[in-house]
């Protein structure tokens, strides 16, 4: 069994229990949480598909006033850690973690979400070398659900004109745009993320609206590091920005 560790995540006093031997969150979860937190519409209920250890709900709880956040997770080890992380941070009144397959979202919560966020597995099923550890493989490879399943689940959960935020790889952008429109979630804003100003994008963030009009706005690129190898000013700002109160 992999040993646990508890880390401060850089947002107030929030901490996260995770197992270094399993999949640990990265900058992807941080930037998609910040992207979603900038939503201009009122959000009373939000969901995170494939929440892992609960990092996205935790960050959203700090950056926004969203009163109800639901995380969905199918892997038992991650599910247990996510629930512990919510309790350890005293957020049981705002965050609920549900253990279920996103392909079987409970009917009673379909159509109730103002926002859905996800940092799904990036590697298509049957592609790439799979990690022998089940937790790591499930976090990186589409083993239990594919891209269309995530988009379909988001469409089921969202209210009409609700907002969807996803982070993925540019190499799968064509599929992402196709499945978004197929499921009635219209792409509205896209932002490429580059390691630094001299490297091409290796991450893409997409904001979609259920039932939205057909117009996609390209945002300026986000650079993760400066040319000295330190976090960029914008990334540091994501961590330093005060909770919206």
Q: What is the pLDDT of residues 80-123, one digit of tens each?
A: 999 999 999 999 999 999 999 999 999 999 999 999 999 999 88
| pLDDT for res 23 | 76
What would the two tokens of residue 70 be?
């639901």
| pLDDT for res 124 | 74
Question: How far apart, in whole angstroms, are the C-alpha atoms of residue 14 and residue 26?
Answer: 16
| pLDDT for res 149 | 96
The low-confidence residues of the chain, meaning pLDDT below 70, are: 1-2, 125-144, 241-245
Superfamily the domain 26-240 falls into: Vaccinia Virus protein VP39 (3.40.50.150)
Residues 6+ apart with CB under 8 A from 149: 102, 103
| pLDDT for res 126 | 55
Q: What does the buried/exposed string (b/e) look like for 167-198 if buried means 16 or more CB atoms within 10 Å of the residue's CB?
A: bbebeebeebbebbeebbbbbbbbbbbbbeee
Pairing state of beta strands 203-210 and 158-168? Answer: antiparallel
| pLDDT for res 138 | 45
pTM: 0.91
User: Exposure of 59 by Cβ count < 10 A (0-12 exposed, 13-18 middle, 19+ buried)?
Assistant: buried
| pLDDT for res 125 | 59
Q: Provide the β-strand partners of residue 166.
A: 118, 206
């Amino acid at each position: 069994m992999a040993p646990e560790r508890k880390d401060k995540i850089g947002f107030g006093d929030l901490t996260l229990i995770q197992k270094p031997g399993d999949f640990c969150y990265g900058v992807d979860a941080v930037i998609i949480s910040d992207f979603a937190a900038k939503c201009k519409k009122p959000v009373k209920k939000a969901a995170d598909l494939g929440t892992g250890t609960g990092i996205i709900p935790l960050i959203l709880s700090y950056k926004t006033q969203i009163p109800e956040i639901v995380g969905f997770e199918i892997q038992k080890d991650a599910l247990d850690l996510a629930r512990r992380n919510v309790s350890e941070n005293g957020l049981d009144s705002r965050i609920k973690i549900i253990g279920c397959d996103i392909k079987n979202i409970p009917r009673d919560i379909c159509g109730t979400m103002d926002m859905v966020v996800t940092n799904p597995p990036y590697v298509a099923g049957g592609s790439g070398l799979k990690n022998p550890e089940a937790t790591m493989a499930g976090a990186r490879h589409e083993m239990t659900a594919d891209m269309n399943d995530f988009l379909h689940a988001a469409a089921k959960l969202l209210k009409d004109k609700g907002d969807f935020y996803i982070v993925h790889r540019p190499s799968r952008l064509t599929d992402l745009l196709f499945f978004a429109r197929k499921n009635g979630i219209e792409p509205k804003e896209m932002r490429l993320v580059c390691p630094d100003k001299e490297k091409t994008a290796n991450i893409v963030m997409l904001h979609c609206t259920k039932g939205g009009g057909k117009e996609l706005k390209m945002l300026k690129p986000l650079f993760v590091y400066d040319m000295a190898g330190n976090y960029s000013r914008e990334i540091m700002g994501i961590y330093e920005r005060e909770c919206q109160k």
